[in-house]
Structure 1
Amino acid sequence: MKLPVNNTCPGDTIPIYRLYNNRWMYNDSNHRFTTDTTEVKAMALKNWVSEGLVMCGAGG
């Protein structure tokens, strides 16, 4: 795992995005991680909060 630099992953890695369900007040908060930007958009439509690019995984 590597961290993104200027919101970009090195060429030999893949971007990993994090989303948050923002349910801390119900004591069932949760994070989801995905490499698929289509999934990020779909989950955002279901009221998940996109926290953006958070790390870079091996195998780009």
Structure 2
Amino acid sequence: MTGPGSGYAVGWGTLSLINAGLAQGKNRRGLNWFLLALILGPVATLLIVLLDAKD
């Protein structure tokens, strides 16, 4: 990817992967959080961090 927005897209995608890993660590569905993070980005990260782990 090249162009003015390529770094932004790579960073957003990386954040989505990190969110999926965080969600799985809290016994939540990683794929759902990955997709949510593609839409919400850093807001999804905040939600994952603030939510308690699922039993």
Is the shorter-chain TM-score for this pair beyond 0.5, marking a shared fold? no
Normalised TM-score (structure 2): 0.35
Could you say which structure has the greater relative contact order, defined with CA pairs below 8 angstroms and 6 or more residues apart? 1
Normalised TM-score (structure 1): 0.34
More strand by share: 1
Larger CA Rg, structure 1 vs 2 = 1
